[in-house]
Amino acid sequence: MKTFGHQLLKASAGTGKTHRLTNQFLTLLFAEVQPETVLATTFTRKAAGEILDRLLERLVGATDSEEGLAELRRDLEKPELDAATCKRLLGRLTRALGTLEVRTIDSFLNRLVNLFSHDLDLPPHWTICDEREAKALQALAIGDVLEQGDPEDLSALLHQLHSGGAPRGVQAALLKLAAEMLPLVQDSDPEAWNQIAVGPEVEKQAVLDALEGLRGAIMPLTKKGTENQRWAKARDKLLLNVSLEDWKAVLSKGLGAAYHSENRTYFGAEMPLDLLEILAPIMAQASFKFLSNLVARNLAARQLLDRFSACLSLRKYESGHYRFEDIPVALDPSTERAQLFAERQADLWFRLDSKLDHILLDEFQDTSPIQWRILEPLASEITSAGGPRSFFCVGDGKQSIYGFRQAEPRLLNSLETRLPGLEAEAMHLSFRSSQVVLDLVNRVFGGLEKNLALGSDPTSPERLAADAWSESMHEHTAVKDLPGAVQVIEVTDMGDTKKDEVSALVRCTVQRVKALLAEAKGCEVEIGVLTRVNKHIPLLISSLRAEKIDASGEGGNTLTDSAAVLLFVSLLHLADHPGDEAAAFHVASSPFAGYLGLAPKSDPSEERADMRALARRVRSDLMAQGLGALAENLNLEVQADPSWPAWDKARMAQLSEQAHRFEARISLRASDFVDHLRIERVEAPGGSRVRVMTVHAAKGLEFDCVVLPELNAKMVGTRDRHLARRPDPAGRIDLVTFSPGQELLGTSTQLKSLYDAGTEKAIKDSLCGLYVAMTRARYRLELVVPGIDADKDQSKLTASLASVLRGSLPQDELIANDPDGVIWRATKSGEKNWAEYADRGSDAVPAAEVSLGLAPTTGLRSLARRRASAEEGGALQSAGALLKSNTGAEVGTLAHAAFDGCEWIEDFEFAPADLARLGAKQDILRSATAIVEGALACDEIRKALSREASGAPPASKTVVHQEYGFTVLLKEDSGGPEQVWNGSIDRLVLATENGRVVWAEVIDFKSDAVEAGELEARAEHYRPQLEAYARVVAEQTGLTPEKVRLRLLFLSPGRVVDLV
């Protein structure tokens, strides 16, 4: 096997690509290549972990057994290899694990951004945020766009964007636009949005003459010699639409639609030549107007998106919150600020601590153009240089299913041109599947050229997609002689509605899983139920469990798929909204009522009082103990309650972990965590032999049996609102436009070409999804298809995967009247049946045992939680404090925010507009502004924030920390166990001498409306909170708590109180 060289493997499913990649990695390591000079990338953490595991496992196997050593010698073509050499390499590799570059592509790019963050104008504290935080930033950015723009200009843009009408919800419309089209903005230049050819405008007199001619034109006559009223009405309607300048209606309805149709007929009759001549200038002018409006709409969208992008970039910079998809954009070499590699490779190697001499790329078909533009300079430098360097790439265009993440499979086919010297190799021998499974794969995908479900017109996008897909398909052959069976099952009773159809398919799927488990006769087998979308996974899982089948999901659902978690959500909702009767009923009528000490009450008023008291108690627990402790306590109750199914117990345990991780970000209100639960997807507990997931989640996995229940969906689903063109698969997009809709494609051959290209891509993507799904199966493959409606012309139906599958089955092999609905079957027998081959016996992974709580640990998770701010008022809290107005809290939050920018009063100037950008309601903004301006007019407040009057030792250096966050371990005053204390200090001033803290001041801003006579009592109320802060500062600085100066700044009365 070649050590140094440049290889491209086009590896079909199951052909051992990971094995070949680790072969290459080990070959390099045995050639004394330093591990840190090798970069291996893939697209998921699981796949990266699998590569690393395989490297170590194969070395361990070669060290421990003759069989493992013989296998490694054979695979690497190194007969001289011995166990001692393998052992030395294993030791070298384990010692180098910290510098080993086996990463996801996102992780590698993330590292590059960290190395060049200053060059890329990223803030030093930047981090990857979750989806909830990202959406919050987007909402703030939309607010900035609306606030900063000229109202008339903004109104004009919005009207243009929405074809003359204003959207009902401006913010929602702009957020939707950004979600759909911001990636296009990031990968295109502004001129790309002005590339639709409009054509010349028709002379005004020619249009007027044509309209006059149309008014007087005699429409086709009936058999009685009278004017056909259908044609006459269509003429009058067209004239009306012209007068209204409704160009879309002119072109797409009635005579306009007929004019642009292929055969130019209207209600079965050909349009007269004289009428066509009259309509020609009208239609040309309508096309000009419509296309002009379309271009204007495109440009308006780009202008708004540019504004949004600028505001969002500023928000991200200020918060330091970015998403993974921002990373490639920041590094894109096609932008001016990211010319990092072509011009500064020496600097790159220096910052990476080593020079990358070897690149191994896995799943290359999932690479996006931006990602490749970043990697290409590295790859080109390696492949163009001589010496001991290598480039190794694995991909399969047939498995390209991540187009929605901007994956560009054309890159794989262009790689040999881009990197001259690559040695290409095709891999079609499957180590995974039984030949009977592969025979159907060969039949479906090898016969696409003749499959009538994709049409017969050789120029149609469906046919072009099928032909292009067929070019990459070669016959698949099984390496192992394995038994197996494949069945196509028809569901005839689909009902009348979409809901009925889904229910019928789910029922059939459950029955097929039951049949497979019965057929396995107690053997431990793995069954994968693979869907196209996440939507139906909860219904499938619950339906399987209803039949006593242990089923779990895979990495794609929120924790709210559990009844126990939904109860916890209702409890948190009740804490925030004590008057919500639905949440109260949900909790009161559940097992949680017993856990929380709620007794049934016959009097509704008493029951409401109990629920309000519960809401107060939950809020108090959140303040005193934290979210994690609340979740953990309820989790322990659920684990100890035998009435809860294992699924709910497992999901509650995961909820507890999520709550502890989220706790540092939560405020008094629990709604942020509820939003997090509704968005964040958590991989379901493993161990189930039946796993339900999307085809995308199943990528890289394999199962003994695969059931495919969602083949009824159209191959071209909901279309994007936009069309885009990228001539060079590695280049930037050179044309973007809103899609005009299929009925208007006759107005422009350019639009028709773009639309057809989108259709072709969608067909290819659907075929790739089916290929990936079918090739996950080792022994058994079950495909569920809807029955055929005999009353419908099948040739006119939109193509679906089910119709493609049916189109590949020979008519003489179809089965009629099977009691189980099987319409086609193929089997292959062996010495043992498939289940016995698949049986893992004692090696099987047992069903996951759900822990009765969090695992014992001495880490932070098991320690009690305490918030310094919860010490306010001492251990007892008044009902008034717990139920204080949320409006007051929002005013206080804004007032605090105003002082965040005040390091010293001498350098500070308050700008109310800064508060306005936070998006608060006008009444809250006015109240907060009044409090801040009043406080800044008071000498006591100004003196407390003054550099000159700070009280710090004269020779010391002072540093001011605003909103100083902390998490520390402190023991109870009584000497009890350690607790985790967390929170934030409004203003912390530290004075240092010779690098040591010698003085500290804690300032806490209070926006309470307090009278002068109540000031002392209110200060005592806050004393426990500030003394807690003093303990924290003392712990972190080495001062004693008594040496920490504590000050309360009451903003409304403009008074300062020192706590001594």
HEC assignment per residue over 8-55: EEEECCCCCHHHHHHHHHHHHHHCCCCHHHEEEEECCHHHHHHHHHHH
Q: For the segment 410-458, what is each residue's pLDDT rounded down to a tens digit?
A: 999 999 999 988 999 999 999 999 999 999 999 999 999 889 899 889 9
CA separation for the pair 1054, 1060 (Å, rounded): 20
What is the CATH architecture assignment of 435-550+690-838? Answer: 3-Layer(aba) Sandwich (3.40)
Q: What is the pTM of this model?
A: 0.74
Q: What's the pLDDT at 147?
A: 82
Give yes or no on whether 435-550+690-838 and 862-1059 have one common fold: no
Domain boundaries, the chain: 6-122+330-427, 134-319, 435-550+690-838, 557-682, 862-1059
Q: Which CATH number fits domain 862-1059: 3.90.320.10, 2.60.40.1220, 3.20.20.10, 2.40.30.10?
A: 3.90.320.10
Structure tokens at 125: 């504290």
Give the pLDDT of residue 222. Answer: 86
C-alpha span between 369 and 376 (Å, rounded) = 10
- Residue 566 CB coordination number (10 Å): 17
Question: What pLDDT was estimated at residue 248?
Answer: 92
In DSSP terms, 529 is beta-bridged to 692, 707
Angle between helices 273-319 and 151-161 in degrees, nearest 10: 130
Question: Are 1024 and 1041 contacting, i.e. CB atoms less than 8 angstroms apart?
Answer: no
Structure tokens given for 270: 């050909």
- CA-to-CA distance for 490 and 500, rounded, in angstroms? 15
Q: Which candidate, 852, 541, 509, places its Cα nearest to that of 711? A: 509
- The predicted-structure confidence for 849-887, as pLDDT tens digits, reads as follows 333 333 333 344 444 445 555 555 554 433 333 333 445
Any residues with CB less than 8 A from the CB of 796 and at least 6 apart, and which? none
Phi, psi dihedral angles at 1004 (to 5 degrees): -120, 125
Given a contact cutoff of 8 angstroms between Cβ atoms, the answer to whether 454 and 462 are in contact is: yes
Helix, strand or coil, per DSSP, at residue 825: strand
Phi-psi region of 994 (alpha: psi -120 to 50; beta: other; left: phi over 0): left
Structure tokens at 1026: 């500030």
- Alpha helices in 921-998, H assignment, sequence order: 922-936, 939-944
The pair of three-digit structure tokens given for residue 723, joined into one six-digit string: 């069309």
Candidates 51, 47, 19, 50; CA nearest to 38 is 51
Element (H, E) at 528: strand 527-531
Identify the CA nearest to 781 among candidates 517, 529, 431, 507: 529
Where are the alpha helices (H) located in 244-357, listed in sequence order? 247-252, 254-260, 273-319, 326-331, 341-352
Contact 364, 412 (CB under 8 A): yes
- Stretches in the chain below the pLDDT threshold 70: 1-2, 159-169, 336-354, 555-556, 664-669, 684-687, 790-798, 840-890, 916-921, 967-969, 971-980, 982
Residue with token string 């008493």: 606
Side-chain half-sphere exposure of 939, counting CA atoms within 13 A: 0
- Residues paired with 441 in a beta bridge: none
Q: What is the CA radius of gyration of the chain?
A: 34
Please give the CATH superfamily to which domain 6-122+330-427 belongs: P-loop containing nucleotide triphosphate hydrolases (3.40.50.300)
* pLDDT value, residue 791: 57
Residue 449 amino acid letter: E
Nearest to 402 by CA among 764, 799, 776, 803: 764
3-state SS, residue 353: coil
- Beta-carbon-side half-sphere exposure of residue 824 (alpha carbons within 13 Å): 19
Distance CA 67, CA 61 (A): 8
- List, in order, residues 6 or more apart from 850 with CB less than 8 Å away: 639, 646, 649, 650, 653, 685
Residue 471 burial (CB < 10 Å; 0-12/13-18/19+)? exposed
CA–CA distance, 84 with 87 (Å, rounded to integer): 5
* Helix/strand/coil for 722: strand
Here the tokens at position 957 are 């250096």
Per-residue pLDDT, 865: 47
